[in-house]
Structure 1
Amino acid sequence: MAIKKPFKKDTIPAKSYDEAKSALKRGNILMLAVGLLLGTVFGALVASFANDILLGAIGIGINALGININNFSDLSFQTIRYGNFISALLTFIIVSLFIFFALFIYFVIRNIRLDNLKKKYPERYVVAAPKPSTDELILEELRTLNRAKRL
């Protein structure tokens, strides 16, 4: 069953609809969205590592050396807050796994649909043998000449 276009043929909205549909089919927007989500969660993980682990270790080290710096005298820089980092790490792992399984299901459905289309319309999906490149033709000619010399 074919899906009808919501617009009349050869109008600006119909052309825009076709362009938007082809852009979505290419998958670029999908991969861009996945990259944005993973980048955001990974950025939160790196920020948590820097703020909670590294700055805490630096603050403890500076206080142990007896250096008095106003910014590091704050209590938040004198402790390593590993709980916040573990929370950010778990969030990253959960979001990454969810995105992976969502993409996995999407590609499984797409491949099943493509297999069904190949079975229904095999003439559309016949793959022709690729033409040999000039390098391959030259190599084949050299092989035949070498075989002729051996005989």
Structure 2
Amino acid sequence: MAFFKEFKQFALKGNVMDMAVGVIIGGAFGKIVSSFVNDILMPPIGALIGNTDFSQLRLDISKLRDATSHAVQAVGDVVAAGDAVIAPPAVEPIYWNYGAFIQQCVDFTILAFCVFLMVKLMNRLARKKEAAPAPAPAPVPTKEELLLTEIRDLLKEQQKR
């Protein structure tokens, strides 16, 4: 039972709840950054390099697979020395999607820059709070106030009796 009590205290601590809110807000913020990159930033860059969709940049590397499969088949034919030639099965092309990787790197850079700016702002606000002048100390009571305080305390003491 103590385990569950300890877990409840941990789960309901302010830091855990703040972290949960941060994760949720971070997810939404990530979608905003992705939209900014995909819909605002990348189209002009794509236009400059001649592509309309930057994420579609890719290389067809199927020729590597085809070359190795032909070599393996040729070796197999020599070893088997058979008359029947087996046609290779129809296969999907293989693409190296370097454009999608570059786009994810741009997403990360923008997201990291935005987080850096937020942390910098929070640090600046924390420094201003620390640098703010301390509140003035309470004024020293006058002799009259001290005398009245003593009279009040004496009257309270007499009423208790």
Normalised by the shorter chain, which TM-score bucket? Answer: 0.3 to 0.5
TM-score, scaled to structure 2: 0.36
Structure of greater Rg = 2
